[in-house]
Chain A
Amino acid sequence: MIPLDEVPDDWLVVSLDGIGAPVVGVEKIEEGEECLRALRALEKELGVKVDALISAEIGEANSMEPMLTAAEAGLPVVDGDGMGRAFPEMQMCSWPIYGHREAPGAMAEEKGSIVVIRDTPDDVWLDRISRSVVVAMGAAAGLATNPMRGQFVKHAAVPGTITQALNLGRAVLEAHATNADPVETVIRQENGKLLMTSKTADLERHLKGGFAVGHMALEGFGAFQGDKGRIDLQNEFLLFRRNGAVEVCVPDLIVVLDADTGLPIATEMLRYGQRIAVLCLPAHALLRSPEALAVVGPAAFGYPDITFTPMGGS
Chain B
Amino acid sequence: MDPITTIARADMADVAQGGAFLGTGGGGAPHVGRLMAE
A59 and B20 CA atoms in complex are apart in Å by: 6
Produce 1/0 per residue, B3-34, CB < 8 A to A.
11111000111111111111111111110111
- Is B37 a contact partner of A68 (Cβ separation < 8 A)? yes
B1 and chain A: residue at smallest CB distance = A6
Q: A63-B15, A170-B14 are in contact. Are A235 and B26 (CB under 8 A)?
A: yes
- Is A172 a contact partner of B21 (Cβ separation < 8 A)? yes
A190 and chain B: residue at smallest CB distance = B21
A264 and B21 CA atoms in complex are apart in Å by: 6
B36 and chain A: residue at smallest CB distance = A32
- Is B22 a contact partner of A266 (Cβ separation < 8 A)? no
Contact of B7 among A20, A162, A164, A190 (CB under 8 A): A162
- Is A169 a contact partner of B16 (Cβ separation < 8 A)? yes
Tell me whether A126 is interfacial, beta carbon within 8 Å: no
- Is B4 a contact partner of A86 (Cβ separation < 8 A)? no
Contacts of B28 in A (CB 8 A): 18, 20, 22, 25-26, 60-62, 266, 268
Tell me whether A167 is interfacial, beta carbon within 8 Å: yes
A170 and B20 CA atoms in complex are apart in Å by: 12
User: Which residues of chain A from 23 to 67 have any CB-CB distance to chain B below 8 Å in the complex?
Assistant: 25-26, 29-30, 32, 57-65, 67
Q: Is the interface of B mostly helix, strand, loop or mixed?
A: helix
Q: A3-B3, A71-B37 are in contact. Are A61 and B18 (CB under 8 A)?
A: no
Stretch of A97-105, A111-119, A249-257 with 4 or more beta carbons under 8 angstroms from chain B: A249-257
Contact of A64 among B6, B19, B21 (CB under 8 A): B19
Closest chain-B Cβ to A32's Cβ sits at a distance in Å of 5
Contact of B29 among A68, A257, A266 (CB under 8 A): A266
Contact of B24 among A165, A167, A264 (CB under 8 A): A264
Closest chain-B Cβ to A60's Cβ sits at a distance in Å of 3
- Is A170 a contact partner of B18 (Cβ separation < 8 A)? yes
A88 and B37 CA atoms in complex are apart in Å by: 24
- Is B29 a contact partner of A25 (Cβ separation < 8 A)? yes
User: Which residues of chain A from 77 to 107 have any CB-CB distance to chain B below 8 Å in the complex?
Assistant: 77, 79, 84-86, 88
A→B interface (CB under 8 Å): 1-3, 6, 18, 20, 22, 25-26, 29-30, 32, 57-65, 67-68, 71, 76-77, 79, 84-86, 88, 161-162, 164-170, 172-173, 186, 190, 212, 233-237, 253-257, 263-268, 281
Q: Could you list 13 examples of A-B contacts with CB < 8 Å?
A: A2-B3, A22-B28, A25-B28, A61-B33, A63-B22, A64-B30, A67-B12, A67-B15, A84-B22, A168-B17, A212-B26, A264-B21, A281-B22
